[in-house]
Amino acid sequence: MRTVSLFGLASSVVVAVACSSVSAAGVGQSKSYHGPTGLQLYSLRDMFKSDGVKPTLDLVQKWGFKYVEVAGTYGLTPAEFKAELDKRGLVPIGSHFPYDRLRDDLDGVIRDAKALGLIYVGCAWIGHKAPFDEKQCRTAAAVFNRAGKGLAEHGMKFYYHNHGYEFYAHGSGTLFDLLVAETDPQTVYFQLDVLWTVFPGQDPAKLLLKYPNRWLLLHLKDLKKGVATGSLAGHTELTNDVALGSGQVDWAALMQAAQKVGVKYYFIEDESPTVVQQIPQSLRFLEQLEF
């Protein structure tokens, strides 16, 4: 994922702008959509680097979030980062770990996951030579099966986050279908990233319903109107990541499907250069969503 500078404002101004909206009780939930809604901390990656861990987590707390998905610890040990989360009442549910670490250093991943207090351990990108193909898909499935088995022995669940390149045609379906078929349903689960499902031309609601027992988590992310779909590249301009409800996604259909299959946690992930303005907008949209 490419990064851009997100923050030209002092932390105090950022907090003032960001806190314009939401309350702590039922943040990002409505009468129809029950959440819980959390935040993928990768959304604030540049702020972690420029302002530091404490001011950034203060902002997350002020927005009203309780649950977070971790994406690195920004110079702190996992235990130190967990302590900062604890001080603010933020509960780490899952974290993405590099594919190479899951393959080559599973014991280290388990150690760090325990230190963070995670219940879920994920992977957001399969290291591969484009285009993603059957051989690489089957290799990844073997890595995920091993990781899932090892994590299950320590009371944690493994999940894979789709990124768009998995939807190359294969047989009567796609390579994503092959990945699901080749992984153990008892130990390998999935996180649906909405943008990275819509952008390659898939229907996220239908995909959820196709595999009702395999989904643990969702990344709530909207694709800018007018952006062409059907690309399997696994990347797009960061400005195409827009506030929820302002893009192409049919949120009513998606949330109905997600709640039907029993998704456990929903995380806003906003990679845009206007993330600080967009997160409160996304929360307001979710709080008004009816279906």
Q: Is the pLDDT of residue 223 over 80?
A: yes
pLDDT tens sequence across 175-187: 999 999 999 999 9
Work out the mean pLDDT of the chain and round it to a whole number: 93
What value, to the nearest 5°, has the Cα angle with vertex 223 and ends 36 and 118?
35
Q: How far apart are CA 158 and CA 179, in angstroms?
A: 14
Whether 117 and 94 have beta carbons less than 8 Å apart is answered as no
**101: exposed, middle or buried (Cβ count in 10 Å: 0-12, 13-18, 19+):** middle
Whether residue 13 has pLDDT greater than 80 = no
End-to-end CA distance of the chain: 33
Compute CA 238 distance to the chain's CA centroid, rounded to the nearest angstrom: 15
- Tell me what pLDDT residue 26 has: 85
Percent of the chain with pLDDT over 90: 91
**Vertex 84 angle, CA 13 and 28, to 5°:** 60
For domain 34-288, give the CATH superfamily. Answer: Divalent-metal-dependent TIM barrel enzymes (3.20.20.150)
Tens of pLDDT, residue by residue over 39-81, are: 999 999 999 999 999 999 999 999 999 999 999 999 999 999 9
Domain coordinates in residue numbering, the chain:
34-288
The Cα 122–Cα 22 span in angstroms is 28
C-alpha dihedral sign at 6, 3, 98, 257? positive
Confidence class for position 109, pLDDT limits 50, 70, 90: very high
